[in-house]
Amino acid sequence: MNISYSPLGFLISLFFIVTFLAPQVKSRAFYVFGDSLVDNGNNDYLVTTARADNYPYGIDYPTRRPTGRFSNGLNIPDIISEAIGMPSTLPYLSPQLTGENLLVGANFASAGIGILNDTGIQFVNIIRISKQFEYFEQYQQRVSALIGPEATQQLVNQALVLITLGGNDFVNNYYLIPFSARSRQFALADYVVYLISEYGKILRNLYELGARRVLVTGTGAMGCAPAELAQHSRNGECYGALQTAAALFNPRLVDLIASVNAEIGQDVFVAANAYQMNMDYLSNPEQFGFVTSKVACCGQGPYNGIGLCTPISNLCPNRDLYAFWDAFHPTEKANRIIVNQILTGSSKYMHPMNLSTAMLLDSSRI
C-alpha cells in the first residue's frame, strides 16, 4: 500500500486532535524517557560528547538556536505535545522546570543511552534509564510538594508517556566496534532475547512508578542512517546487519508489550512501529516530498554521514527536502510523518491502537 505525506494531511490530523481530543483531556501531563531521538536538551547540562548544543542544530526551531534537540527543529515529543494542545516538555535538568511548569510534565531523555547500562559508555556522563526513573520519582516528590500527593498521583496516572529505547543497544554497543564485548557474549538472536527481557523489566518499573498510558517506539531503520551508509554501503543500500537486528527486535517488542498488557489486565502500553514508519519515506522519498533519503542535510563525507553536524559541516539550504538531518537523526519534516502515523496510523503502524484512539478511551475514563 502506498502512503504519501502532505502538510495538509498532517494539519487535518492535528486539527482533529486539538479540536476534539485535547479539550477532553484537561491538563494532561506528558513524560518522555529515552535517547537522542526524544532528548529535549538534558545533555546540555552534562559533561558529555553526546550533545546538540551548537549551530546549526535548532536552525528551524522557533528561536533559531540550538536547544539540545538532535534536530533542525522540533522532535517527536514536541510534535506530540503540539498535537495534544500542550507546551513542549522541558528537560528535567532545566532550571526553568519549576512551579506550574512541572504540571506540564518533563522530559527525562538523554542522548546515547540504551536498554542496557553498558550502552553508550563512550559518552561517559549520560542519564541512563535507571537514573531517568530516579529523576521521575524525584519529580513526583517535587510535584507533591506543590499540589499534594493525591493530585500528584492523579496527574501521573492520567499522563501520556513516551519511551524510546533500543537503537543505541545495537549502534552504540553490539555493532559499535568489530568483536565488541556484547557480540562476543551473544549471537544476535540471543542478544535480542536478552534486550527484550531487560526492556520488560523497564516497562514494568515504569508501570510501578504510575504510568498508565505509554507509547513505546520500536527501533527505526537503523541500517539506513547516513552514518551506516558511509561506513558500509557501496551503492546506497542499507546496512544489512542493523536491518536484520531491527527485524528481530521489533516483533519481539510487540509481543512483550502484549504480554505485559495481559499481566496488567489493560492496554497500558502501545507499540509504535517506527521501523515501518521510517521505511515508508526511506523507500519512496519523492512520494513524501524529499529529494533524498540517503544523504544527511548536515554533515561531511559520503552521504554527509561522517562525524558530527558542526558549524563547518555541509548544510542543505532546505531541510524539508531531506529525510535525515544529521548522520543519525530525522529532520523535523520526517518527525512529523512519524507522529502522523502515531496519531492516526492503522494496525500496520500502531498496536493495539493509535494515539487518537487511546486518547478517546482515556478521555472517557477521566
For 123, other C-beta atoms within 10 Å of its C-beta total 20
Compute the distance between CA of residue 331 and CA of residue 352 in angstroms, rounded to an integer.
27
- The residues that bridge with 306 in the sheet, in sequence order, are 300
CA-based R_g, the chain, Å: 19
Compute the distance between CA of residue 217 and CA of residue 200 in angstroms, rounded to an integer.
14
What are the grid coordinates assigned to 111, written together?
Answer: 542522548
From the candidates 78, 267, 329, 356, which is the catalytic residue?
A: 329
Per DSSP, the three-state class of 157 is helix
Catalytic residue flag (residue 329): yes
From the candidates 39, 280, 320, 326, which is the catalytic residue?
A: 326
From the candidates 13, 36, 81, 233, which is the catalytic residue?
A: 36
What are the grid coordinates assigned to 280, written together?
Answer: 515508508
Q: CA separation (Å) from 116 to 105, 194, 216, 315?
A: 25, 10, 16, 34
Catalytic residue flag (residue 78): no
Yes or no: say if 319 and 71 are a contact pair by the CB < 8 Å rule.
no
For 26, other C-beta atoms within 10 Å of its C-beta total 9
What are the grid coordinates assigned to 262, written together?
Answer: 495481559
Catalytic residue flag (residue 232): no
Of 1, 8, 63, 2, the C-alpha closest to 336 is: 8
Residues 235, 239, 241, 243, Cα dihedral to 10°: -120
* Amino acid at position 305, single letter: G
Active-site annotation, residues: 36, 326, 329
